[in-house]
């Protein structure tokens, strides 16, 4: 059906060019607002009427007659109907819709993929500081970032997944102090361990049980290995640097376990500290000063970010000589651009909203050829977790929040991924643990996976006779005439266009919506028509349709990083 659509669009473009040279470039089909009106709608007559000084209805009649005379319309279109001031509604022949089944079965797991475009995209996500386990907010970011990366892959991009973490800031000192106190035998609640939230010193302590685990491992002189580092503790509670390096490596290992439980791998872990050791931060400061967009005030160095649309100027270097977080962010993105990533997508929490304007302003002020609007941002809200009807806020493991691994252990990797992707990223979301483990139609991931498993059960029953699914690619599909079959094929044909739109809009939630619709359409078809009938041609046609549906369900679930079980 995709090739059918291309042929019909080419015919439309040719006839539009005859009416008005160049008009064919804007040839397009729309989806009628009312399904009963047809499969495609053409509004070109109304768009061309004014420049051609013609009556739109009369122009529509002329275009209708011209299209009906073309070979593709004669082959694939059952009727072209004119409505209103010049709308053309196209009704496809059943044979046209049936072509999608062949296309899906022929392309398999590559159905929906576009050709290699020869371009790179860097997607940065999770980027958690190595000071604790990953919480459910990181989980939402991980699901979003991985799904967006998969979406770009379907569109021919070469995708680089990157994890950036702050290993040079105040939080690392906080982690080190807390671990050192634990190693010395102190614990939360002791006199030296502030708990008053209004006490600024309380911010310099982490209270989770995981700090005690780090301290004990340090005293045991253990060796820990993460994806990007390995370190052995010396057990000396006075060796601050050794504690620091061990604690960071220990928590990087813990975060790796979280990511492994989520079946997620990164291509690169980028250290903030490298921006300083490689001289990138100092180079960025020099570039910004040389650009003329900086000034000194009250002992601090400021950037005139208001010159680039920010709401106020920003401090780059504080009066005590330390740089603000904004400056290494600018240096980091300059390096992204220099590494050949003309397109960059950052997945961050909504609390980073204020950084967008200042980072983009800094990149423009640096004058290194970076285009305006670089990088792209996808912001997400945090997640509430509800279990047994009550909100869960505390994790023994973390001390103050529910971890990603908690959520996976309570439910499953598939449920966590699908649920966290089932709403727009900037929409508040409540994760219902009880719903995520329910085996009923109210559970969206179960509903979709069950549709796939149900099809696999039908195919297994058929294959007991020695038949193979590959043989279905060439069967006669003319028996697929019923309304439920027609609706299912129409939905299969929308999958590639849905992927294009979802990638363009950084909107993986569109994939979850589509899969739920596809599962519902399949369940309706299954209830309407028995598949394993005695009539061999009818049975094979129906098996081909459901096999194609299973393939698209698998493909869509793979984009989300969710499994497609064959039995449930």
Domain range annotation of the chain = 2-92, 125-277+381-437, 441-560
Instruction: Specify the range with the lowest mean pLDDT, choosing from 1-15, 200-214, 251-265, 333-347.
Output: 200-214
The b-or-e profile of 485-506 (16+ CB within 10 A means b, else e) is: bbbbbbbbbbbbebbeebbeeb
Q: If pLDDT is split at 50, 70 and 90, which confidence band does 124 have?
A: very high
pLDDT at 399: 58
Give the DSSP letter of residue 109: G
Q: What is the mean pLDDT of the chain?
A: 92
Per mean pLDDT, which of 315-324, 432-441, 462-471 is the most reliable? Answer: 432-441
pLDDT at 138: 93
pLDDT at 393: 77
> φ, ψ for residue 272 (rounded to 5)?
-60, -35
Spatial contact of 251 and 131, defined as CB atoms under 8 Å apart: yes
pLDDT digits (tens, 9 = 90+) for 44-84: 998 999 999 999 999 999 999 999 999 999 999 999 999 98
Please give the Cα distance from 310 to 138 (Å, whole number): 28
Mean pLDDT computed over 470-485 = 94
Mean pLDDT computed over 104-127 = 96
pLDDT at 195 over 70: no
pLDDT at 204 over 70: no
Measured at the CA of 362, the angle between CA 359 and CA 364, to 5 degrees, comes to 110
> φ, ψ for residue 386 (rounded to 5)?
-120, 130
Read off the tokens for 15: 């006839």
pLDDT at 128: 87
Containing 355, the helix (H) or strand (E) segment is helix 353-366
Read off the tokens for 211: 């700090």
pLDDT at 331 over 70: yes
CATH number of 125-277+381-437: 3.40.50.620
Please give the Cα distance from 141 to 485 (Å, whole number): 37
pLDDT digits (tens, 9 = 90+) for 495-542: 999 999 999 999 999 999 999 999 999 999 999 999 999 999 999 999
Q: How far apart are the first and last CA of the chain?
A: 32
Helices 495-504 and 536-560, packing angle to 10 deg? 10
pLDDT at 187: 87
Spatial contact of 304 and 315, defined as CB atoms under 8 Å apart: no
Spatial contact of 38 and 90, defined as CB atoms under 8 Å apart: yes
pLDDT at 437 over 70: yes
Please give the Cα distance from 503 to 154 (Å, whole number): 9
pTM summary value: 0.90
Q: If pLDDT is split at 50, 70 and 90, which confidence band does 194 have?
A: low
How far, in Å, are 298, 320, 476 from residue 323 at the CA level? 15, 9, 69
More confident residue, 493 or 194: 493
Please give the Cα distance from 499 to 365 (Å, whole number): 36
Q: If pLDDT is split at 50, 70 and 90, which confidence band does 563 have?
A: very high
Measured at the CA of 303, the angle between CA 301 and CA 305, to 5 degrees, comes to 160
Nearest residue to 495 via CA among 145, 143, 104: 104
**Domain 2-92: which CATH number of 3.30.1360.70, 3.40.50.720, 3.30.70.20, 3.40.30.10:** 3.30.1360.70
pLDDT at 196: 56
pLDDT at 354: 87
Read off the tokens for 328: 């290494």
Mean pLDDT computed over 322-332 = 92
Spatial contact of 435 and 442, defined as CB atoms under 8 Å apart: yes
Burial of 191 by CB count in 10 Å (0-12 exposed, 13-18 middle, 19+ buried)? exposed
Mean pLDDT computed over 130-141 = 89
Please give the Cα distance from 317 to 319 (Å, whole number): 7
Spatial contact of 41 and 30, defined as CB atoms under 8 Å apart: yes
pLDDT at 565: 97
pLDDT digits (tens, 9 = 90+) for 236-287: 999 999 999 999 999 989 899 999 999 999 999 999 989 999 999 999 999 9
pLDDT digits (tens, 9 = 90+) for 136-156: 999 999 999 999 999 999 999
pLDDT digits (tens, 9 = 90+) for 388-435: 999 987 655 555 678 899 999 999 999 999 999 999 999 999 999 999
Domain 441-560 indexed as CATH 1.10.3720.10? no
Mean pLDDT computed over 124-133 = 88
pLDDT at 169 over 90: no
Q: If pLDDT is split at 50, 70 and 90, which confidence band does 217 have?
A: very high
Read off the tokens for 34: 């009312």
pLDDT at 301: 95
């Amino acid at each position: 059906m995709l090739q059918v659509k291309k042929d019909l669009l080419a015919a439309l473009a040719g006839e539009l060019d005859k009416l008005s040279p160049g008009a064919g470039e804007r040839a397009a089909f729309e989806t009628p607002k009312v399904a009963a009106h047809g499969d495609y709608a053409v509004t070109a007559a109304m768009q061309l009427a004014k420049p051609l000084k013609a009556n739109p209805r009369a122009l529509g009649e002329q275009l209708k007659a011209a299209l009906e005379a073309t070979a593709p319309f004669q082959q694939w279109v059952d009727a072209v109907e004119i409505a209103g001031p010049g709308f053309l509604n196209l009704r496809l022949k059943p044979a046209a819709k049936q072509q999608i089944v062949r296309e899906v079965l022929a392309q398999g797991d590559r159905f929906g993929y576009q050709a290699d475009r020869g371009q790179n995209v860097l997607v940065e996500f999770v980027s958690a500081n190595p000071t604790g386990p990953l919480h459910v907010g990181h989980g939402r970011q991980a699901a979003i970032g991985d799904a967006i990366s998969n979406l770009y892959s379907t569109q021919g991009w070469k995708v680089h997944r990157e994890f950036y973490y702050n290993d040079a800031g105040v939080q690392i000192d906080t982690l080190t102090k807390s671990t050192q106190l634990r190693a010395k035998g102190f614990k939360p609640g002791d006199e030296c361990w502030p708990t008053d939230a209004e006490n600024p010193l309380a911010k310099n302590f982490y209270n989770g049980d995981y700090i005690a685990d780090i301290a004990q491992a340090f005293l045991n002189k253990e060796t820990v290995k993460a994806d990007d580092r390995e370190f052995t503790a010396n057990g000396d509670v006075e060796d601050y640097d050794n504690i620091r390096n061990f604690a960071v490596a220990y928590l990087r290992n813990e975060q790796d376990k979280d990511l492994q439980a989520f079946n997620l791998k990164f291509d690169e872990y980028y250290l903030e500290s490298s921006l300083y050791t490689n001289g990138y931060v100092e180079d960025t400061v020099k570039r910004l000063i040389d650009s003329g967009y900086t000034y000194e005030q009250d002992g601090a160095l400021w950037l005139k970010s208001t010159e680039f649309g920010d709401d106020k100027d920003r401090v780059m270097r504080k009066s005590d000589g330390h740089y603000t977080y904004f400056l290494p962010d600018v240096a980091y993105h300059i390096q992204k651009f220099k590494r050949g990533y003309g397109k960059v997508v950052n997945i961050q929490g909504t609390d980073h909203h204020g950084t967008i304007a200042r980072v983009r302003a800094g990149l423009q002020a640096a004058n290194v050829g970076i285009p305006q609007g670089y990088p792209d941002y996808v912001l997400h809200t945090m997640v509430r977790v509800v279990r047994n009807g009550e909100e869960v806020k505390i994790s023994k493991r973390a001390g103050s929040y529910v971890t990603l691994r908690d959520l996976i252990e309570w439910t499953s990797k598939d449920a966590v991924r699908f649920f966290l992707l089932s709403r727009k990223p900037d929409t508040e979301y409540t994760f219902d643990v009880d719903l995520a483990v329910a085996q009923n139609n109210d559970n969206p991931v179960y509903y979709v996976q069950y549709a796939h498993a149900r099809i696999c059960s039908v195919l297994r029953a058929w294959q007991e006779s020695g038949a193979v699914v590959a043989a279905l690619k060439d069967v006669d599909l003319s028996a697929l005439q019923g309304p439920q079959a027609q609706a299912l094929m129409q939905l299969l044909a929308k999958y590639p266009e849905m992927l294009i739109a979802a990638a363009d809009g950084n909107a993986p939630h569109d994939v979850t919506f589509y899969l739920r619709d596809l599962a519902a359409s399949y369940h309706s078809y299954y209830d309407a028509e028995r598949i394993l009938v005695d009539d061999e041609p009818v049975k094979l046609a129906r098996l081909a349709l459901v096999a194609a549906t299973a393939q698209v369900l698998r493909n869509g679930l793979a984009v989300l990083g969710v499994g497609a079980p064959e039995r449930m």
